[in-house]
Amino acid sequence: MLTLFTAKSIITMNPSMPAADAILVGDGRIIEVGHEDKMQPWLDAHPHTVDRQFSEKVICPGFIDPHLHPTMAAVLLPMEFITAMRWKLPWGIVEPTTTAEQFDQRMVALHAQKEPDAPLFIWGYHQLWHGPMGKQRINNVSSERPMVVWHRSFHELYMNDAALKMTEINEQDIKPGAQVDFSNGHFYENGLGLAINRLNPWLLAPDKYAAGLQRLKQVVQHGGHTSIGDLATGLFDFESEANALASILDGDDVPFRTRLVAHGTAILKGSQSIEDGPALAMQLIERNSHRLKFGKHIKLFCDGAFFSQLSQLMEPGYIDGHQGEWLMPPEILEQNMRAYWHAGFQIHVHACGDLGIELTLDLLEKMQAEKPRFNHGFTIEHFGFSTPEQIKRIKALGAQVSANVYYLHELSDIYSREGIGYERASQMSRLASCFTNDINTALHSDFTMAPAEPLNSAWVAVNRINHAGEVMCAQECLTAQQALEAITINAAHVLGMAADTGSLRAGKYADFTILDEDPLTCDAMRIRDLRIHATVFEGKVFPLDS
Amino acid sequence: MKQRLIPITIISGYLGSGKTTFINRLLAADVLPSKVAVLVNDFGDINIDAKLIAQISDDGSVVSLTNGCVCCTLQDDLANTFERISSLAIDHVLLEASGVALPNKLRTQCHYPGYFPQHCAVTVDAENYHKKRQDKYVGNLVQQQVLQADTLIITKLDLAGSFELPDSHDPGRPNSTDLSPAKQYSVTDPQLIYHLLEPVKGLNYKPGSSSDMASFSSCTLEQHKPIDIQELSDLLATVPAQIERIKGFVDTPTGLQLIQKVGKRCSIVPADAAQNPGLVFIYPSQAANPAEVLQVNWKPWMTLRGNHLHSAHHPEQS
């Protein structure tokens, strides 16, 4: 049985037929895209129904986030959010909380709502907006209920007396230098490891983790996604993660598929060497199910995180003179890259600062000299700060870009003042240059680093407005068309799924995101607010209630 | 229950500088005292003589040796490993660091309940160091590792013939009396392992580096009047708790003394050369500034000269 969906308009992302108004679906795949009257031969030959539920809607290719972390999300999502930025979650919009007073009011309200005795985890605190945090401040909300306030960056947290008691962390355990200020309930950087170890029974208990993954499933659907990439399967623990994902992100009720890209060093066990990696990664493919698929992809890591200013920068570096970090010695990155490059893998490298990107490109150039490859899909992941010269190199070496453009929105204002200065802060996410140079370029959230809302990422890429309301480097703004490509067909290319999804044409999966309005013609400032009416995954409609 | 803290000796140093070779040498020569836990990045490069192996844990991550030591892989993060080995009968940890880790950051990571960082040695490849320190990508890192070391283990001297640190490794410190250069040992020196298992002599904590992950501040007191040794010792024992290290020279009726205090361990020994008397007190920048208390307590003999924030804890905006 075929189904003919009609729409006010259909955005195909197929340059040969950019727009249409009808799409015929059979057995989860697209039979034909175009106009109803041209589809008569198919309709005459096969039994069909006509579904006009989207006749006043706009059909887009299903959105794709090519880089997020379901496991991290599963830990975070059961927590309550109090954030300076807006977060749109399936169970409600978290409106910005931008003052200390509002933060306290929200804590009091959450405490009042929460069932007695249960610990209360709050995420999203940031001193710039919410003032100094401390044990006494949380005790003022409740000294009986264990409460943990987690910093937006994940790098620090605060506990009240009840939480310290619950975790059995004692003052005499804490030594000077431990990066714990016990009297203030403050655990930061390395001191956080202790806090997390003691909180794990509440954070990673199997039922909590499963509940977190269920929430992630809702988040992914509500963002309008029909495909996502888990860009470091094994981030915490390979087997337990893979099993949990298989039990929750598979099944007929799941409206999206997941490309699993293994964490390059997490797949090695015991005395296995880097050179064993490609064969081990190939074995993972045997675990594939319909919705969860490993591929000939691997994730490697170059420099430190952009959010914590540990990215490696070329001169003149950071204003305060501190240095970034390498996540592995460059020689080890090279050894990994060589193993996977020669084995024909698509390599995804986490590279955030311009020195990190430079190293990544130097190594790619070396690999190309050793064994030239075309259409290799080598992807720079995150792409925080780059130089114009690197754009040319990325093109010349045949690489592609998957960018977390949200950096620009949340960080460019503060980094211009406390980080790297205005010139470089304003030129984060140098994306229009990528399009001009015909580099395949996608947008991702790295959720939980940015909201898992492709329309929000597109909104940032098109408007380049930071949280302070300033337009940062208008020259690098994408057009709405480019931004939509970046969350559909280009993202499909990054995940090696472009033959199956990412655009609407005969033969691909019937993966749609149904919008009330056309993102290509609406006011660019409204892109992130467009209502997602439903998603369609392999021909099956999944309505959204909100 | 009050437990003795287990000291940690960190073996840091860039990739290829000889950390693993050194650890293999210790294991092969069977020179480690019993009850030392050796934590290594992975077993792939570690050679343990089969005769030495008493038992291997089910998951293969812990190897017990017949001499009472254990070898353990750092499968995930350090905090997890500390929890994992807490049930073992050990009284010292030898930790092989990742090639890209900085000693100062490792020191803070080693302040896990039950443990403390006692000594940080950095392996230096005599043959390649001078080339490596100019590397576009890791030059700064390998220099910082050397600058933050308590002890330098010079490797591959047989290939290089000799080794000297470049002059540029004398960083522009706030003043010249407060820090001495790391002591150098050849990797083949039979005394080296005993030195490494001891507390640091000749304190070499270098808070001046701007790329320290942990940020430390210091107070400097300048001496204007000699102090009795007993009084000095009492005063040193009662400094505010947040002070982690004290270093300097103090004038006493029996002559100039070299003072080194790390945590609760304090040494007062006659100084062998003339120095300006004064003390530097180092504390984590996150902790309360002890300057006022020090100023009051030491007033009869010393005056506050400086109170420096050595490296800003970089903004954690996110």
Closest CA to A199 of A68, A73, A76, A116: A76
pLDDT given at position A436: 98
Instruction: Tell me, yes or no, if A332 comes closer than 8 A to chain B by beta carbon.
Output: yes
Residue A88 and residue A126 share a domain? yes
Indicate the average pLDDT of chain B: 80
Residue A199 has pLDDT above 80, yes or no: yes
Do the Cβ atoms of A413 and A341 come closer than 8 Å? no
The hierarchical CATH code for the domain B216-309 is 3.30.1220.10
Structure tokens at B173: 């410190």
For residue B310, pLDDT beyond 70: no
User: How close is the nearest chain A Cα to the Cα of B43, in Å?
Assistant: 6
Given A445, A478, A511, which residue is the final one in a domain?
Answer: A478
Could you say which residues from 38 to 67 on chain B have a Cβ atom under 8 Å away from some Cβ of chain A? 42-44, 60-61
How does residue B213 score in pLDDT terms, banded at 50, 70 and 90? very low
Cβ contact (<8 Å) for A196 and B211? no
In a domain, A380, yes or no: yes
Note the pLDDT tens digit of each residue in A211-251: 999 999 999 999 999 999 999 998 877 888 888 899 999 99
User: In chain A, what residues touch B145 (CB-CB under 8 Å)?
Assistant: none
Question: Which helix (H) or strand (E) is A218 found in, with range?
Answer: helix A206-222
pLDDT of A545 > 80? The answer is no
pLDDT digit string (tens) for A309-349? 899 999 999 999 988 999 899 999 999 999 999 999 999 99
User: Which run of H or E residues covers position B218?
Assistant: strand B216-223
Count the neighbouring beta carbons within 10 Å of the beta carbon of residue B189. 13
Question: Taking residues B298-312, what's their average pLDDT?
Answer: 72
A22 and A106 belong to one structural domain: no
Considering the domain architecture, whether residues A432 and A517 belong to the same structural domain is answered as no
How do residues B58-88 score in pLDDT, each as one tens digit? 877 888 988 889 898 886 678 888 888 888 8
B29 and A CB contact within 8 Å: no
A140 in a domain, yes or no? yes
Task: Tell me which DSSP letter residue A471 carries.
Answer: B
Shared domain check, A474 and A333: yes
Instruction: Provide the CATH number for the domain around residue A526.
Output: 2.30.40.10
Return the CATH number at A428: 3.20.20.140
Contacts made by residues A237-240, CB under 8 angstroms, sequence distance 24+: A237/B76, A238/A262, A238/A263, A238/A266, A238/A267
Percent of chain A with pLDDT over 90: 83
Mean predicted confidence (pLDDT) in A361-387: 98
Phi, psi of B67 (to 5 degrees): -85, 10
Chain B residues whose CB is inside 8 A of the A330 CB are 137-138
Is B167 in the A-facing interface, judged by CB distances under 8 Å?
no
Residues of A in contact with B61 (CB under 8 A): 270
Q: Band the pLDDT of B201: cuts 50, 70, 90.
A: low
On whether residue A532 sits in a domain, the answer given is yes
pLDDT value at B207 more than 90: no
Amino acid in the structure at residue B201: K
Structural domains of chain A, count = 3
pLDDT at B246 over 90: no
> Does A180 lie in the same domain as A132?
yes
CATH 2.170.120.20 fits B6-196, yes or no: no
Q: Which residue has the higher pLDDT, A254 or B299?
A: A254
Is the distance from CB of A425 to CB of A411 less than 8 angstroms? yes
Q: What amino acid occupies position A232?
A: A
Q: Which of A12, A78, A2 is nearest to A45 (CA)?
A: A2
The per-residue pLDDT for range A445-459, each reduced to its tens digit, is 999 899 999 999 999
pLDDT at B103 over 50: yes
Q: Do B44 and A128 touch (CB under 8 A)?
A: no
Whether chain A has a CB inside 8 Å of the CB on B87: the answer is no
Task: Kindly write down the DSSP assignment for every residue of B36-57, as one continuous string.
Answer: EEEEES-GGG----GGGEEEE-
Mean pLDDT within A68-80: 92
Task: Indicate the range of A351-355, B71-75, B98-102 predicted with least confidence.
Answer: B71-75
Instruction: Give the model's pLDDT for residue A18.
Output: 98
Distance, in Å, from the CA atom of B281 to the CA atom of B285, rounded to the nearest integer, reads: 12
Task: Among B108, B141, B311, select the one facing A177 at the smallest CB separation.
Answer: B108
Write out pLDDT tens, residues A269-313: 767 889 999 999 999 999 999 999 999 999 999 999 898 889 999
The residue in chain A having the minimum alpha-carbon distance to the alpha carbon of residue B58 is A270
Mutation choice for B interface testing from A189, A357, A446 by most B CBs within 10 A: A189
Residue of B100, B108, B116 lying closest to A190 (CB–CB):
B108
The Cα–Cα gap between A99 and A523 comes to: 30
Q: Does B91 touch chain A (CB under 8 A)?
A: no
In angstroms, the separation between the Cα of residue B23 and the nearest Cα of chain A is 17
The H or E element containing residue A400 is strand A400-403
- pLDDT category of residue B309 using cuts at 50, 70 and 90: low
CA distance A208 to A76: 10
For chain B, the structural domain boundaries read 6-196, 216-309
Q: Please report residues of B whose CB lies closer than 8 A to that of A355.
A: 137
Same domain for A127 and A166, yes or no, is yes
Interface contact flag, A326 B5, Cβ < 8 Å:
no
Q: Give how far Cα A191 sits from Cα of A198, A238, B111, B214, B282, Å.
A: 11, 25, 8, 11, 19
CA distance B272 to chain A (A): 31
Distance between CA atoms of residues A323 and A311, nearest Å: 8
Which of A156, A199, A322, A413 to mutate: most B Cβ within 10 Å?
A322
Out of A152, A155, A359, name the one closest to residue B137 (CB).
A359
Q: Establish if A15 touches chain B: CB-CB under 8 angstroms.
A: no
The mean predicted confidence, pLDDT, of chain A is 94
Q: Are residues A51 and A81 in the same domain?
A: no
Task: Tell me: pLDDT of B306 over 80.
Answer: no
Give me the percent of chain B exceeding a pLDDT of 90: 23
Average pLDDT over every residue of A420-442: 98
Residues A516 and A420 in one domain: no
Here the tokens at position B34 are 């019993």
| Interchain CB contact of B86 with A (< 8 Å) | no
Lowest pLDDT segment from A18-22, A325-329, A394-398? A325-329
- Is A332 in contact with B99 (Cβ distance < 8 A)? yes
**In which band, very low, low, confident or very high, does the pLDDT at A158 lie, cut at 50, 70 and 90?**
very high
Please check whether residue A351 is in contact with residue A360, taking contact to mean a CB–CB distance below 8 angstroms: yes
Q: Are the beta carbons of B315 and A359 separated by less than 8 Å? A: no
Token code pair at residue A100 = 């200390």
Sign of CA dihedral A399, A403, A407, A409: positive
A303 shares its domain with A440: yes
A382 to A75, A415, A460, B78: CA distances (angstroms): 22, 17, 15, 27
Cis, bond preceding A201 (omega within 30 deg of 0): no
Q: Out of A177, A189, A194, name the one closest to residue B244 (CB).
A: A177
Chain B residues whose beta carbon lies within 8 Å of the beta carbon of residue A323: 140-141, 144, 210-211
- Residue where a domain terminates, one of A203, A238, A266: A203
Chain B residues whose beta carbon lies within 8 Å of the beta carbon of residue A271: 42-44
Last residue of a domain, one of A203, A236, A256: A203
Question: In angstroms, what separates the C-alpha of B147 from chain A's closest C-alpha?
Answer: 14
Residue in chain B closest to A155 (alpha carbons) equals B316
Find the CB nearest A197 among B83, B107, B241: B83
Q: What residues make up the domain containing A473? A: 298-478
The band of B263, judged by pLDDT with boundaries at 50, 70 and 90, is: low
Cα gap A76→A118, rounded to integer Å:
16
Do A184 and A126 fall within a single domain? yes
CA distance A459 to A409: 10
Q: Does residue A377 sit in the same domain as residue A445?
A: yes
CATH code of the domain in which A122 resides? 3.10.310.70
pLDDT at position B164, please? Answer: 86
d(CA B259, CA B250): 7
The mean pLDDT value for B171-175 works out to 39
In this prediction, residue A214 carries a pLDDT of 94
**Mean pLDDT across A36-44:** 96
Q: What is the pLDDT of residue B204?
A: 42
What number is the average pLDDT over the span B145-170?
Answer: 84
Say whether both A408 and A443 belong to one domain. Answer: yes
Task: Decide if B280 contacts B247 (C-beta within 8 A).
Answer: yes
Cα dihedral: B293, B298, B302, B307 (round 10): -20
**Residue A240 near chain B (CB below 8 Å):** no
Residue A513 has pLDDT above 80, yes or no: yes
Helix (H) or strand (E) holding A227: strand A225-233
pLDDT number for residue B315: 31
Residue type, A11: I
| pLDDT at site B206 | 37
Q: Is B141 on the interface with A (CB under 8 A)?
A: yes
Tally of CB atoms within 10 A around B171: 13
